Structure 1
Amino acid sequence: MKNYQQALHDADALCQNKPLWPKGHYVKAQALSGLGRTEEALKEFLYCVALNPEWSLMKKEAQKIMCEMFFPAFENVHDSLTAPFSSRTRLKPAFLSSLNTVEDGSAAGCSEDTVFRLTKALSQEPDVLRSTNSSLSHNVLDLHFEDNKKSLGTILSSLPGPRLKRKLSSDLTDLQSLDVPNKIPKKDGDTVLENSATSALREIPAVLVDASDFECSLCMRLFYEPVTTPCGHTFCLKCLERCLDHNPYCPLCKEKLSEFLASRTYKKTILTEELIVRYLPEELSERKKVYEEEMKELSNLNEDVPIFVCTMAFPTIPCPLHVFEPRYRLMIRRCMETGTKQFGMCLADELKGFADYGCMLEIRDVKFFPDGRSVVDTVGVRRFKVLNHGQRDGYNTANIEYLEDKKVEGAEYEELVHLHDSVYDQAVAWFTSLKDNMKAQILNHFGSMPGKESEPQSNPSGPAWYWWLLAVLPLENRAQLAILAMTSLKDRLIAIRRVLIFVTRKRPR
C-alpha cells in the first residue's frame, strides 16, 4: 500500500518484541527506504545480514545502498547540490580514478567484490553492529576526504574477517578523527552554509557507552589520570607507576619501557579523559571520591604513618637516602603526591620489626635515575613514639605520638642554662681537638656545627647543636635511640657530657 510511515511504526514494534528476527528488520529497512531515510535503512539491512548471513537478498540490498551512498555517479552531482549532499561522501576525482570501477547501473561504479567483502565480514561478527549501533553508518557517511587521509577503498580492503572487531574499531577511530566541517563553502567560495545535521549524526548516544570499556586492567576500576604507554596500552597513572617500581616492562605485552621510565613523561591521554568526563560523569565522580579518600587517609601524619626502617635520624639533621626497593619507591612517591612530604625513620628491631622511637623526616628533593632508583634528600623534623605497628602495600606503618621536651622554670631553668652552656663549650673543645682529616669528613657529611642558642627551650626537641653532636659522636645506635627517646633536656645534656668525657679520655695520644 506504500504507507511507509505506518509500516515503520509497525516494524518498530515488531523489532522491539523480536530484536533478533531478521524479517522484522527487513520490513523496517523497506519502510525507511521508502521514506528516503537511506542511512537508517542501510543500518537495518546490515542488521539483517548480521543476523542471517545466508540471506543473499539482504546482501544485494545492502550492497546497492552502500554503492549509491559511497560512490555516487559524479557526473550526476551538480554544483548547486553541494549543501544537500554534504552529509554524503564527497570523493575527489583522483580517488575515483584509482578505483577499479565496473559499468553497472545499480552499483554506480562501485566494485561489487569490495562491498561484498565488507558485508560478509560484518556477517561474521554480529556484535560489531550492536556495539557501534548507528555510529558505523553515520561516521562513515560523514567523511570529508582530504589529501592526507586514508582512502575509503583502503579501509574497506583492509578488513579481514576473523579480526574484524579489533580492525573495525581502529579504523572507525581513524574515520571519526576526520573533521567534517560544519560550514561547507560553495564552489565560488562566497557563501557559507551551516550544516547542523552533520553534528547531530556524529553524536554517540550515552546508552551505548559502558563504564567497563574504560576500566584499568590493573586496578579493575575506572581510569583515573589515564596514561598510554609507547606500546599502546592505557592504565591509571598510579597503577602504571606501581608496576614500573618492580620491573620496566608493560604489564600487558611485556614490552620494555626503560626509556619511558627514565624520561618519566607521564602525560595524560586527553581523549580518553574527555570521553570519560563527557559520557561517564557519575562514575568519574565516584572514582574521584575514592581517590580523594585514599589521599586523605595517606595524608594523616598520626595514623598509618609510613616508616622507613633503616638508620638513626635526628631533628634538624640532614639524612640523604638511596631508595631502590619497590616498596620504598611507592612510599616516597605517595609522600610527594599527598603533599605532606614526610615519613618516619626508625631502626630495625628483630621482634617488632622496627623500634618504638624514631624521627620524622621531611623530603627536600628527589632525584630519579633511569632504572627507577632515586636519591632522596631529607632533614629531621620531629621525634615520635610508636603506639602501634602496621603495614601498607609492603612497607611499614605506625600510629604515633610526637615527643616534646618538658619545660622548666625558675631555679631549674637557671641550672639548665648553666648546664647547656657548659656542655656546649665542652663539645666545641672536643671537636676542635680532632685531627684535620676527621674534621673534614664530619663537615663534609653533617655540615658545620650549629651555634649556641640563647634560649635552650625554644625548640620542642631542644637545641640543634645537640642533635648535630649526637649524630657525630661515635655511639652505638641503641645508645643514640635511648637519648632520642628522652623528653628532658637536662637528662640529655648530662648523658652527652658523660659521652664527651669518655671519648676525651680514650683519645689516642
Structure 2
Amino acid sequence: MDAGIQNHTEHYAHGLSNPSIAGLCAEMLGVADEACSAGDFELAVEIYSSLLAELQHTDRGLCLRKADALTRGGRVSEALDSYRIAANIQPLRPDELQVLVDVMSLTIRVKEQSDLKNSNLGNGCFESDELDEEKNLNLFSCRLCKCLLSEPTTLVCGHTFCKRCLEEDVVKECKSCCVKTTTLLKKFNVEGLRVNVIVSGLIDKWFHSESHARRCWLEGESLWKEDDLSSAIEKFNKADGIEPFICRLLARRAELHMEMKNFGQAIQDGDTICRLRPLWPKIVEWDRVEPARFPAHYIKATAFRSIGQSEDALREYLYCVALKADWITVKLDAQKILSDMFTSVFVNDGLDTSQQPLLAGSIPRVKPSSLLSSLHSPLSRDGDKAGSSKESSCSKFQDGSSTFFNRTENNVNSHGISCVSLALKRKWTEDPNDFQMPNKQHKRDEASSSKSLPTLSEERPVPLKLLDSADFECSLCMRLYYEPVTTPCGHTFCLKCLERCLDHNPNCPLCKENLCEYLATRAYNKTFLMEEVLQLYLSDELTERRKVHEEEIKELSNLNQEVPIFVCTMAFPTIPCPLHVFEPRYRLMIRRSMETGTKQFGMCIADELKGFADYGCMLEVRDVKFFPDGRSVVDTKGVARFKVVSHGQRDGYHTAKIEYLEDKKVEGDDLTELLKLHDSVYDQATGWFTSLKDDMKNQIISHFGQLPGKDLDPQANPNGPAWCWWLLAVLPLENRAQLTILAMNTLKDRLVAIHRVLIFVTRKRSR
C-alpha cells in the first residue's frame, strides 16, 4: 500500500461535526476505523453508510470518512458523491483530498503497468526511468548533465565530463566515484584542466550536428544567465533546429518559455518530451545551482495553471505524482486544484439533477475533463441514502465511449491498493486529442508533428565510414593506444610511453607544459572513455596490440635470457642493498621489474671494457619510495649469484644472459675438513668483529644488521652460509677482491680467502 494512503488509513484527519455520533456510536466508529486499517473497506463503507442513514442531518466528517474508504476500496466514482455532499456543507480543504489524489495517481501507475505488460515490453520487470536512463547513457554522454560531452575534460581519475559541468557548483552533488566533494575537486585542480584533445576531436568528427547543437544550447544558457532572454531563446531554437528531439534541450527551453510567460510554447515542449520520455520522473540538474529541474508534466501543469486551465493542470499533476510518489509539493498542488473544483462547481454553481449511466470499459489514462464533468452530476441531498450501496447514485467518468474510473477491484487487494513500480520504455498509447493545446495558436505545426520520434533506448552510433584507427595512435610510439592516459594539459598517450618520457623530462611531450604536480602524484589512471571506445570499435586492433605488449612483458620477465643489469656496486646474497635511483634508464628498469612481477634485477660492478663485470648478484625489490621529481629509493636484498654469459642492452640500460652459480658440495673426509674450517673461520670472524670499537660496530649493525649465526649445515644453501656474505660486505676490501670471492663456486675456497683477509686486517689494525 502506498505510504500516504496507509498513513490516512491509520490516522484520520476528518473530525465529526455531529457530537452525537461520537457519543452514541463510538463503538461502531471504532470498528469502521479498524476495518479501514485492516483493508476491509467494504465493511467500513457499510458502517459509515448505516451511521449516516440514522442521522437527521448529514455529518460532514462522516461523509469524508466514507468517501476516503470508498476511494481506497477502488470505488472512486461513488466516493465523489460523498465528497460533494461534504463540499456542500462546507468547502473542502486541500488536505481533506489527500487520499483521493493518492488513489487517482496510484491508479495511473497501475494502468501503466498493465499497458506495459499487455504490450510485452516490460517482461515483468519495472524499474524507474531514471535508473534506466543511467543504463542507456551513451559512451559520449556526460555523467553529470547526461548530454553529449561538450569540451570533454578528463580528470586524473580517468573519468571524462563536460568542462562546464566540472566548473559549476552542482558537481558537489554528483554521486560519481571521483567528484563527490569540493575537497576532491580542489585535489583534481579542475580550474587547471584542459579539454581532452583526442576525445573532443572524435566527438566533433563523429557527431558534428549534435555537437553544434550542444554549443548553441550552451550559448543560450550563458545568455539566459545574463538575463538576455530573447537572445537565449533564439539560441535554443537554433539548437533544436539543428538537432531536434533532445529532451533536456526541450526541457530547458520550456523552462525559459515559462520565465518569459510563453505558456503555450512551454506546453508544446512539455508535450513533445512526454511523447519522447513518458516515464521521465526527473531531469538531473547540471547548469544551475538551484534545484529547478522539473519533469515535463510539471512544466505543463504549471503552464496550464498559469493560463487558467485547471482541468489540464490537474491531469499533469496527477501524472507527476504517479511518476514520483513522494513529490509532496505536487500532491498539495493537485489537492488545491481539486478543492477549488469542488468549491466552484458544487458550491457556487447550480447542480444538474439528471443522472448519467455508467458506461462500460476503461481508458488508458485519467481524464481531468471527465473528472470535471463528473462533478456536475446529480448530488443527492438525502444523506441517509447517498452512497448507501454499490448501486446507489454515483458520478460517471465519461470519455466518449469509455470510462476511466470503472470499478478497479482488479487493482485492489483485500488490504488496499498495492504499490506498483514504474514501468520502463513503454510505448506512448495516449489519444492524440489529449495533447491538443488549449489555444489554436499554440498547436504544433504539421511538419514538426510528422517527424518520427526516437525511442528511449536509441543509441548514438558511431558512423563506421568515419572510424579510422589512425585517430587512436599514440604520438610517441606511433602504435594503437594501450592503456591510454590523459595528462592535465589534455593530451593522451600510452601509459608506458608517458612514463618513459617523464623519466627524462617532467614536461608534456607535445605542448611542453610542466607536469611536475602530475608526476608527483603519479596519478596515471587510464582514460575510461578511450578504453571503452577501443574495446567497442577497434577490438581486433586492440587484441593485436595487447598480444605485442604481453610478448614484451614475457620477454622482460625471463630472468635467464635477458636480465636487466644495474651497474653500480657489489651486492651479496642475503645482504640488504639500498639504492638511490635517479637516472632515467634505471627508473625504467626498476618500473619494468615491478610491472613484470619478478621484482628482480642483476647488480654488477662496472668494467671498462665490457661495460660491467662477468659476475654479479640478483637483487629482489622489497620496497620502492617515489619522490615528486621522479627519483626513488629502492630497498633490495641479495638473492643469488650469477655468471654473465653474454652482454646486451635494452632501451638504454644493460642486460645480460646469465647462469646462476651454486657451491659444489663435498662428502666424507672432505666434509669433515670443511666443517672444521667453517667453525674455525667463524670463530675468527666473531673475534675480529668483537674487537672493533663500539661506534664502528654500531654503524655496521645499523646498516647490515647483526652478524648471522653459524649454520649447522654450511652446505644447505647453494650460496653458502649467510654469515660469510655479511662478513664479506663489511670487510674493508676493494670491489675487485670482493668480486673474486663472489665468483668462487666452492665454500672451502671462499672460507680460505676470508681467513686470509681476516689475518691481513687484524695485523694491519694491530700496527
TM-score, normalization by structure 2: 0.45
Query: 2:558 matched to which residue of 1?
Result: 300
Query: 2:723 matched to which residue of 1?
Result: 465
1:99 and 2:202 are equivalent in the alignment = no
1:276 and 2:534 are equivalent in the alignment = yes
* Conserved? CA contact 1:462–1:489, under 8 Å: yes
Distance 1:143-1:473 versus aligned 2 partners, 3 A rule = same
Name the SS of the counterpart of 1:339 in structure 2.
coil
Query: 2:246 matched to which residue of 1?
Result: 143
Distance 1:477-1:147 versus aligned 2 partners, 3 A rule = farther
Amino acid at match of 2:466: L
Higher relative contact order (CA 8 A, sep 6+): 2
Q: How much does 1:493 deviate?
A: 0.3
Query: 1:403 matched to which residue of 2?
Result: 661
Q: How much does 1:145 deviate?
A: 2.4
1:236 and 2:494 are equivalent in the alignment = yes
In structure 1, distance between residues paired with 2:612 and 2:560? 17
One of 351, 363, 368 as aligned partner of 2:626:
368
In structure 2, distance between residues paired with 1:434 and 1:147? 87
1:249 and 2:380 are equivalent in the alignment = no
In structure 1, distance between residues paired with 2:749 and 2:251? 81
1:502 and 2:760 are equivalent in the alignment = yes
In structure 2, distance between residues paired with 1:449 and 1:181? 78
Name the SS of the counterpart of 2:643 in structure 1.
strand
Query: 1:259 matched to which residue of 2?
Result: 517
Q: How much does 1:473 deviate?
A: 0.6
Larger radius of gyration: 2
Distance 1:142-1:236 versus aligned 2 partners, 3 A rule = farther
Distance 1:349-1:143 versus aligned 2 partners, 3 A rule = same
One of 670, 679, 683 as aligned partner of 1:421:
679
Name the SS of the counterpart of 1:507 in structure 2.
helix
Give the number of aligned pairs: 366
Q: Summarize deviations over 1:162-183 as a string: whole Å, max 9, x none.
A: xxxxxxxxxxxxxxxxxx9694
Amino acid at match of 1:402: Y
Query: 2:583 matched to which residue of 1?
Result: 325
Name the SS of the counterpart of 2:634 in structure 1.
strand
In structure 2, distance between residues paired with 1:323 and 1:487? 31
* Conserved? CA contact 1:182–1:199, under 8 Å: no
Amino acid at match of 1:447: G
Q: How much does 1:144 deviate?
A: 2.6
Q: Summarize deviations over 1:160-211 as a string: whole Å, max 9, x none.
A: xxxxxxxxxxxxxxxxxxxx96944662233765476354352224443221
* Conserved? CA contact 1:142–1:198, under 8 Å: no
Amino acid at match of 1:484: L
* Conserved? CA contact 1:357–1:481, under 8 Å: yes
Name the SS of the counterpart of 1:200 in structure 2.
coil
In structure 1, distance between residues paired with 2:651 and 2:253? 48
Distance 1:254-1:416 versus aligned 2 partners, 3 A rule = same
Q: Summarize deviations over 1:318-347 as a string: whole Å, max 9, x none.
A: 000000000000000000000000000001
Query: 1:337 matched to which residue of 2?
Result: 595
In structure 2, distance between residues paired with 1:505 and 1:484? 24
In structure 2, distance between residues paired with 1:223 and 1:137? 37
Instruction: Provide the identity percentage.
Output: 68
- Structure 1 unmatched ranges of 5 or more: 1-65, 71-90, 102-108, 119-135, 154-179
Q: How much does 1:146 deviate?
A: 6.4
In structure 2, distance between residues paired with 1:142 and 1:478? 80
Query: 2:192 matched to which residue of 1?
Result: none
In structure 2, distance between residues paired with 1:435 and 1:198? 84
Q: How much does 1:149 deviate?
A: 8.3
Q: Summarize deviations over 1:90-136 as a string: whole Å, max 9, x none.
A: x9xx79982349xxxxxxx9589x96xx9xxxxxxxxxxxxxxxxx9
Name the SS of the counterpart of 2:479 in structure 1.
coil
Q: How much does 1:438 deviate?
A: 1.1
Distance 1:183-1:503 versus aligned 2 partners, 3 A rule = same
In structure 1, distance between residues paired with 2:563 and 2:514? 34
TM-align CA RMSD: 3.2
In structure 2, distance between residues paired with 1:318 and 1:499? 22
In structure 1, distance between residues paired with 2:235 and 2:681? 99
In structure 2, distance between residues paired with 1:281 and 1:486? 54
TM-score, normalization by structure 1: 0.67
In structure 1, distance between residues paired with 2:277 and 2:580? 56
Q: How much does 1:304 deviate?
A: 1.4
Distance 1:226-1:472 versus aligned 2 partners, 3 A rule = same
Name the SS of the counterpart of 2:740 in structure 1.
helix
In structure 1, distance between residues paired with 2:526 and 2:498? 12
* Conserved? CA contact 1:304–1:398, under 8 Å: yes
* Conserved? CA contact 1:184–1:194, under 8 Å: no
Bigger fraction of residues in strand: 1
* Conserved? CA contact 1:304–1:399, under 8 Å: yes
* Conserved? CA contact 1:182–1:198, under 8 Å: no
